[in-house]
Structure 1
Amino acid sequence: MRQTMYHPTFKNFPRDFYTLFMQVQEDPRISLSEIARRMGIDKRTASAWWKIALENRIIIPPVLRRKSFLNFRENVYFLKVKDPAKLFEKLKNNKEIIYYTVQTGFSNFGITSNQPIDPPEDVILSGERSDYYVSTPPHCSFEESVKVIQKKLQSLEEIENSPSTLIYHDEHYPWDEKDEVLYEEFCNDI
C-alpha cells in the first residue's frame, strides 16, 4: 500500500492564528522556537502555522510606508458603482491612481491616488489618508463583541470630543532620487 504525505491546508489545519499573531505583536523579532515554547507546541508545528498564516495573508509581514507629509499625501475614495470591473478597466491606465480594491459593505469599489481626483459614480466617503495605524482586536466571538458594544451604548450619556488619532504632517519631508530608489527596493520586502 502506497502512503501519501499529508499536506496541511488552511481548511484542515488545527491552529491558533490569533495567539500566533499576538506573540509577534508583542515581540516583532520573536523566533519561531520561542513562539513554539510560549504556545506549548513543537517548533515544526509553529513553523507550519507561521507558513500557512503568511501564505494566506492572515499575518502580513511588515512593509515600509511613507508618512503623510505634504509631499507624500494619498487620497482615498470609497465608491458605490454599478459595475466595478468596468470602472477598473476605465481607470486602470490613470497614473495618479496607485491602488484599487473591490469590496463589500457600504461601498463596493475603493481607489487610492497620489493626487486628488474626481472619480466617476457615487463617492460615499473620501479624504486624505493619515499615517498608517493598525488596531489589534481582542480575541472574542462576534456575539461577545456585540454585548460589549451594547453595554457601552447603554451607559453612554454624552459623546465627548477627543483629539483625532489620525496623524498628518503639515510640512514637506526632504526626499531625493536615492531615497526613492531605496524605498522602492525595500517597501514590500523587509
Structure 2
Amino acid sequence: MSDFVGKSLNTISRHVRKAEENDIIFPPQLRLIMTKQAIEYMYFVKVSDPVDCYPFLKESGAFYVCLSSGFYNLMFMSYTPVDITHLSQYRDTFLSGKRSDYMVPMVPRQTFEKAYEKINAKLKIEPEPSLLSLDLPKGIPWSEDVWFLYHVLKYNFRLKYTPIIKRYHISVSSFYDRLDKIKQQTNVYIPFYPLGQMQYTIFHLLIKSRFHEFLVDCFSEFPASSLHCRVKDFLFSRVSISKWTERTSFLKLLSSMQHLGIIEDYETSLPFESDSFHPGSPCPAPSP
C-alpha cells in the first residue's frame, strides 16, 4: 500500500487508525467461500422476542445473530441447519437456506446523487436474467486446527500473528501452513463507510428477482459498502444509504424497479443490533 499511494508506512498507518477510530473503515474480515466442505445457512424469521432466542441459537451452533425492525425481526446464520419452530417465541419463517458466495462491490468515489443518476440510466436498458450461483465446488477439507484459527482471524485479519502463535502454542511453520489453507477458502471483506458508519441507514433487502447480477450492479453505484448473496431464489442485499440524502429516494428506486419488472417482490428491514459467537460450530465434517 505504501508504494501504491506514494506515502510512508507510518503515514498510512496513522491515517488507517484515524479512519478506524471514526468508523470509516473496519479491519479486514474473512468470509468463507461456499463449498461442499463448508456451508453457511441464513434464516430470516419472525419471533415474539428475539433476545429470548439467543441462548438456544448459541447452543444450536448459530455464529451470527442480527435483530431488525421490519417484516422479519431476527436473522441468524449457522454452519448446520437449525430448527426454531418449536420455540414458544417462534411466529413465522420468511426465508431460510444455504447462501451463495458473497458479492462485495468496490465502493465508488462519487456522490449519492451521481449514483442515482447512473442507476436510472441503467434502468433504461432491459437487463438479461442472471441469478447468483448456488453451485458448491468440492473445496478443501478443514482440519480442526485450521477451522479454529479461521475463527480467531475472522473479524480482524490484521491481528498481529506473534501473540496468536504464543497464546495458542502454535509453531511458526504450522501457523503459516494453516494461514495458507485459510486464504485458499476465504475472501477478504473490508467494510468502508466514507462518512463514518453512523452517517448511514443500513437496509437489509430480500428481493425476489431473476436479475440478481443487474441489481448488484445497480446497488454497487452507492458510495458505501454493500454486500450481496443468494438464498434460494432471493437476493439478500445489505445496502448503506447516507442519512443526509432522502430515504424516500431509495424506496422510490425499489418501487421503480418493481414497476419495471426487475423486482418481482421484496421486503426491507432495518438492522439495529447484532452479535457473533465463537466458534459457533465444530469443524465441518469432510464431504462424502
Is TM > 0.5 for Structure 1 vs Structure 2? yes
1:50-61 to structure 2, matched below 5 A, reads 50-61=16-27
TM-score by length of 1: 0.60
Q: Aligned pair 1:144/2:114, yes or no? A: yes
Are the equivalent residues in 2 in contact too, given 1:131–1:168 (CA < 8 A)? no
Are the equivalent residues in 1 in contact too, given 2:39–2:98 (CA < 8 A)? yes
Shift of residue 73, structure 1, vs aligned partner: 0.3
Give the Cα separation in 2 of the matches to 1:175 and 1:65.
Answer: 15
What is the CA RMSD across the aligned residues, in angstroms?
3.2
Letter in 1 for 2:113: E
Shift of residue 189, structure 1, vs aligned partner: 4.2
Structure-2 change in CA distance of 1:140 and 1:103 (3 Å):
farther
TM-score by length of 2: 0.43
Structure-2 change in CA distance of 1:70 and 1:135 (3 Å):
same
Identity %: 32
Could you list the runs of 5+ residues in structure 2 that have no partner in the other structure?
Answer: 85-89, 158-288
Shift of residue 100, structure 1, vs aligned partner: 0.4
Kindly provide the CA deviation profile for residues 8-53 of structure 1, in whole angstroms up to 9, marking residues without a partner as x: xxxxxxxxxxxxxxxxxxxxxx13x864749xxxx65x54432132
Structure-2 change in CA distance of 1:96 and 1:134 (3 Å):
same
Structure-2 change in CA distance of 1:138 and 1:184 (3 Å):
closer
Shift of residue 106, structure 1, vs aligned partner: 5.4
Give the aligned partner of residue 79 of structure 1.
Answer: 45
Structure-2 change in CA distance of 1:87 and 1:177 (3 Å):
closer
Structure-2 change in CA distance of 1:104 and 1:115 (3 Å):
same
Larger strand percent:
2
Runs of 4+ in 1 over 6 A off after TM superposition: none
SS at match of 1:59: coil
Higher RCO (C-alpha 8 Å, min separation 6): 2
Give the Cα separation in 2 of the matches to 1:145 and 1:65.
Answer: 27
Could you list the runs of 5+ residues in structure 1 that have no partner in the other structure?
Answer: 1-29
